[in-house]
Amino acid sequence: MSETIKVGLIGFGTVGSGTAKILLTQQELISKRAGCNIVLSTICDKDITTDRGFDVPKDILTTDVNKVIEDPEIKIVIELIGGIEPAKSFILKAIKNSKHVVTANKALLATHGHEIFNEAYKNNVEIGFEASVGGGIPVIKTVKEGLVANDIKIVLGIMNGTANYILSSMTDQGISFEQALKKAQELGYAEADPTYDVEGIDTAHKLAIMAMLSFGVKVSLDDIYTEGITTLKPIDISFASEFGYRIKLLAIARKHEDGIELRIHPTMVPESHLLAQVNQAYNAIYLVGDSVGKVLLYGLGAGQMPTGSAVVSDIVDIARNISKSAINRVYSTGIPFNELKELKLKPMSETTGRYYFRFSAVDQPGVLAKIAGILGEHGISIDSVVQKGRGQKKKSVPVVMLTHEAKEEQIKAALEKIDQLQIVTDKTVLIRVESKNSLY
């Protein structure tokens, strides 16, 4: 065993503990595979007294972050505190000290990634962020290396385990969003403040990273149309099922001649597609490349040990490069940072797809004709209709519809008119549909 490479960890929480546990307990196996000796020399956290459930040499624990980012012996700094500050300052300082950085911090990379990648590029250090998307699934490596021969056309992903867990519960048990969220919180699948997960923000962070790598463009969060799952109703999940679909919070990035579409919203996925079979807290990323065709990667998108597995894979990658003097053997951003192109966004209004509508209408003859009339005026043709509850003593009945391919802009214009009709008693529910045609 040749060189010894020291790494320092900032953040000894859930993922930090998983990472430290792997580095400390699997050191021999990992070092043999890496071809160099990887040593966790310092762990920094505010809390260095709580027992993490495995043996940690006391002398490597510190509350002073400078013991990591100012230590000239430490070559790789692992940032696992999350959030924007002080993570960002720590990372930038580490980079300026010529240290390589490994992070799982998708929020930071999605919002301040350009600054960080630019600094890293200038200082000739690497940023490893395998753990930022898909937890333990090696999706970043797959895009940058495994599929290096491909012009990637499509990235679809179930990238948030919490949202997927909630949707799975709603689907399997017919419970409401609120009930499913409560259950997820009790089981530790959702945080006390679940906003980032259920509003699609966390998914947007991840899609920003994936789109940058897949298409070689700079992506800002504002480019991504983002809609969460908080307003989803069991009735729509149940109608979707009747049509042969499951509802997933899907991240969608597609390259077209006239631009790239980037969007996140509840999406009806055909039951027969593998993405529809991704349940509970699992994640999956589905990629289409011009040579490889369709590839799907599936695994745990979060959690102490899966995320630790991804963090350690980055550490090993960088350690190999240090020991072979091959820094930036693979560019952190897929191609050199300064060669990333400006994004040419295909605006949401220009995207096309199929749509599911649930209209709430008064129970009287002629309603369907009126709705269908407005859709027709906007060039939207109907694939199938389900109308239930007719004749019961309800004030309004749901009229459910699947359209053929239509443009978002026309859909929105038609819905605005429809929702102004006197016979329509409530805001129309719209869910976008990935049909087999668009998936395959």
- Cβ closest to its own copies, residue 26 vs residue 238: 26
Query: Contact 398/388 with Cβ under 8 angstroms?
Result: yes
Compute the least distance from the CB of residue 145 to its own copies, in Å: 6
Task: Find out whether 357 and 429 touch, Cβ atoms under 8 Å.
Answer: yes
- Of 107, 112, 111, give the one whose Cα is nearest residue 95: 112
State the residues that interact with its own copies by CB under 8 A: 18, 22, 26, 29-30, 32-35, 130, 136-138, 141-142, 144-151, 274, 277-278, 289-300, 303, 305-306, 308-310, 312-313, 316-317, 320-321, 324-326, 328-331, 334-336, 339
The number of C-alpha atoms within 13 Å of 123 and in the hemisphere containing its C-beta is: 20
**Any idea how long the chain is?**
440
Q: Indicate the SS3 state at residue 222.
A: helix
Q: What letter would DSSP give residue 134?
A: S
Residue 76, beta-bridge partner list? 7, 100
- Nearest approach in angstroms of CB 307 to its own copies is 9
Q: Which is nearer to its own copies, 7 or 198 (CB)?
A: 7
Q: Supply the minimum distance, in Å, between the C-beta of residue 381 and its own copies.
A: 31
Q: Of 21, 206, 255, 346, which one is the catalytic site residue?
A: 206
Nearer to its own copies, 113 or 303 (CB): 303
Tokens at 240, concatenated = 């979707």
Q: 149 or 192: whose CB is closer to its own copies?
A: 149
> Least distance from C-beta 368 to its own copies, angstroms?
36
**Would you call 115 helix, strand, or coil by DSSP?**
helix
Q: Is 206 a catalytic residue?
A: yes
DSSP 7-18: EEEE--SHHHHH
Pull the structure tokens for residue 186.
């009790």
Nearest alpha-carbon partner for 106 in 307, 336, 274, 279 = 307
Q: Which residue has the tokens 């040419």?
A: 344
At closest approach, how far in Å is the CB of 294 from its own copies? 6
Choice between 128 and 266, CB closer to its own copies: 128
Map tokens 């230590």 to a residue: 71
What are the residue numbers of the active site?
206
